[in-house]
A and B are shown apart, each in its own frame.
Chain A
Amino acid sequence: MNHDFTSVPPVFTLTVLLFAALRDLAKTESVRLVLPPGATVSELRRAMATLYPEMANLLARSVFAVNHEFVLDAHVLFPNDEVAVIPPVSGG
């Protein structure tokens, strides 16, 4: 094995917007997570559930939005994306 620690890929930090009960559970309007390059929504969801277990239940029932569009779990995230968790909506 070649352990070349100088070429460890850089991680990136993503801000994730929270609304409604998720915001109340987290007691903040957004959280910042450090992710590896190429991280998907699925990995973000897992990372959030691990870091914020109080959100895990509702996170599992939520969808994610990137740059104001709903995305699936396989969607790949980039550093400048505007990411939000959308818990089940209840407008009207």
Chain B
Amino acid sequence: MVRLTRDAINYSELTESVRDPHCGAVTLFLGTVRDLTGEQVTVFLDYEAYGPMAEKKLAEIEAEVRRRWPVGNVTLVHRLGRLTVGEVSVAVAVSCPHRADSFDACRFAVDTLKELVPIWKKENAPDGTGEWVHQSHTPASPKRESPENAT
């Protein structure tokens, strides 16, 4: 299951939702709003998505995770809108029969989400200024076209 939401992410419920009798391992990753990036103080973040494409890319990541690992359940949820320090911006929950696969699958899902899904954050400082975060790829290395190339 994948979802974009403007509401707080209930990660306890999310974790319960991936538990499975065939799975001896459940991995939960939470991305939370950090107060410092280098020297820069963040008061809140604004998250924005290209909704239909973001949902499509999240679903492709879910499919790729299921193809590569013996997953029981996998859920990716990303929050949008204004988030203050400490709030959960992204949650990925995975269950697998064994822990190595569960850890690997969860890490792949988060890493690929951060690389491919059209979502952006704006860091807002105490002085009222804000800046969109647009680091990384150059025209010489266009974004990968499918999750399987993204390891």
> Does A91 lie within 8 Å of B137, measured CB to CB?
no
Contact with B along A80-92 (1 / 0, CB 8 A): 0000101111111
User: Is B96 interfacial (CB 8 A cutoff)?
Assistant: no
Task: Flag whether A61 is at the interface (Cβ < 8 A).
Answer: yes
Ranked 7 nearest A-B pairs via Cβ: A91-B119, A90-B133, A20-B120, A21-B132, A92-B114, A68-B53, A88-B134
Which chain A residues border B119 with CB–CB below 8 Å? 89-92
Interface residue ranges, A against B (CB under 8 Å): 17, 19-21, 24, 58, 60-61, 63, 65, 68-70, 72-73, 84, 86-92
Q: A91 contacts B117, CB within 8 Å? A: yes
> In the bound complex, do residue A84 and residue B50 qualify as a contact, i.e. CB atoms below 8 Å apart?
yes
Among B6-14, B65-73, B98-106, B138-146, the one that faces the other chain is B138-146
Contact assessment for A89 and B53 in the assembled complex, using a CB-CB cutoff below 8 Å:
no
Complex CA gap A90/B114 in Å reads 6
B138 touches A90 (CB 8 A): no
**Would you call A19 and B120 a contact (CB within 8 A)?**
yes
Nearest-Cβ distance from residue A89 to partner chain B, whole angstroms: 6
* B97 at the binding interface (Cβ < 8 Å): no
Q: Report the bound CA distance from A20 to B39 in whole Å.
A: 23
Assembly CA distance A60 to B134 (angstroms): 12
B56 contacts chain A at the CB level, 8 A cutoff? yes
B43 at the interface (CB under 8 A from A): no
B82 at the interface (CB under 8 A from A): no
**Residues of chain B with a CB closer than 8 A to A21's CB:** 120, 132, 134
Sample of 19 further A-B pairs with CB below 8 A, known A21-B134, A65-B118 = A19-B48, A19-B50, A20-B48, A20-B122, A61-B139, A63-B142, A73-B142, A86-B143, A87-B120, A87-B132, A88-B134, A89-B118, A90-B135, A91-B78, A91-B89, A91-B90, A91-B118, A91-B119, A92-B114
